[in-house]
Amino acid sequence: MIQPDGHLTHDLDPADQPPKDACGVFGVWSHGEEVAKLAYFGLYALQHRGQESAGIAVSDGSRIMVFKDMGLVAQVFNETVLNTLRGYLAVGHCRYSTSGSSVWENAQPTFRATPSASLALSHNGNLINTRELAAMAGESWGQPEATSDTDVLTSLFVSPPVVQEAAGLPGAPGIEQNALAVLPLVRGAFSLVFAEEKTLYAARDRHGFRPLVLGRLPRGWVVASETAALDIVGATVVREIEPGELVSIDERGVRSHRFAAAEPRGCLFEYVYLARPDTTISGRGVQATRVEVGRRLAAEHPVEADLVIPVPESGTPAAIGYAQGSGIRYAQGLVKNSYVGRTFIQPSQSIRERGIKLKLNPLRDVIAGQRVVVVDDSIVRGNTQRAIVSMLREAGAAQVHVRISSPPVSWPCFFGIDFASRAELIAGSLPVEAIRESIGADSLGFVSLEGLIQATTLPAEQLCHACFDGDYPVAVTESEQGKYLLEGVMAGGASDS
């Protein structure tokens, strides 16, 4: 991929990448605060949710200014840029693409201006009826290189004639009325933060697939993908945006509108990997859930060993729980390079094959001669675990037992996580013993789906666990998965994440 500065970015090995999660969204309405800087720090807290592009839109009540670019939040924004974004309302986004191209045109927030309205919109999730919505919009976009379903929503929200005809509404509705008419027609996952000149909005699909929370500032309000982003800007948690709810925030305060009955099916994988450990979901701390999963994993898959070590950082809480549940000593056996991301240097084949070494390196003095239990959050294709097992053996481990704090990921996600297709998922075609042989471990154990669900303290019927068992809350066909050509309008797909 060519960056705006002309550099070529290159992942060491796409097959070694962890699952790309849904994006991070953030919004703030506050008089007397530097809202662009609040949005910057909010996005910084959500950086783990999207590392391809970042953007912030700010309104001063009369016009909306948008600044966005490819790269990390700290690469896109600096003090000078933020000082030019002045106003009392801001919308921010950090992006991972699923099937939409990773190009500047798809960076968010998206923006549309019409004679009657202007709109900046950030989207976390993945729609599965984009073709239908695009046909309803009935426009050519004027940006054929864009591949984001967010463009479809943005266009519909600022297109009164289209919405009136589709919903049978009289008169000339505004952004709020348009959204209330369109959102019931949208299928799939969406947590939206969007704004016109004077009002901030937040909306969540009827299933609440992706998280979205409301926070209170001394002089305003904040909405964000995770509670950790509220913490960093000094906001107190008020509540989650409910599934099927649209919230409006302006001079009159916070107003709630119901566009669909709630049918909660929050993403179970948020607890496994996506969310920060210091985030709270549905009243349950993610860290506490992951530690409890580790305890259950120890009970379900015991082994005689000398050390429990995590694959940092995502495997750390579960490794702590495994050590607590098993009585085996916990130790740091792998050191993570915290600064590894994308490199601008083309690696040689030998470096590519050893690319895991750039991310993790074993502590030989700790590992040599020991029977090691190594705990990680998931196995997607198996390449990373294969490399870790090999690395630990080279460091002198007597035995390597792999324990995974999620069930086997056997099915693709159509609601905002970029898992591979089922054919590419190692658990989509191989049983556990064959996976063990493939990665070279002495033993392999996955936590059960029941154990993982119980650790969240939520009922199974309120969680989406389709990536583990293929039980999709919304019926999904191959043509609806968001990875098709939209008849020349959107080349390459219709997904934003």
Provide the 10 A C-beta neighbour count for residue 478: 7
**Comparing C-alpha atoms, which of 447, 453, 450 is closest to residue 298?**
447
Three-state secondary-structure class, residue 6: coil
Of 35, 127, 137, whose CA–CA distance to 86 is shortest? 35
CB atoms within 10 A of CB 454: 17
Tokens of 204: 């969540």
- Total number of residues shown for the chain: 497
Q: What is the DSSP secondary-structure string of 221-274? A: EEEESSHHHHHHTTPEEEEEPPTTEEEEEETTEEEEEESS-----EETHIIIII
Exposure string for 155-178, b = 16+ CB within 10 A, e = fewer? bbbbbbebbbebeeeeeebebbbb
CA 259 and chain centroid, separation: 24
Residue 422 tokens, joined: 């089922």
CB atoms < 10 A from the CB of 352, how many? 14
Rg of the chain over Cα atoms, rounded to whole angstroms, equals: 23
- Among the listed residues 23, 267, 413, 467, the single catalytic one is 23
23 as an active site residue: the answer is yes
Closest CA to 224 of 34, 41, 20: 41
Q: Identify the DSSP state of 368.
A: T
CB 297 within 8 A of CB 447: yes
Burial string for 112-146 (b: 16+ CB within 10 Å, else e) reads beeeebbbbbbbbbbbbbbbebbebbeeeeeeeeb
Active site members = 23
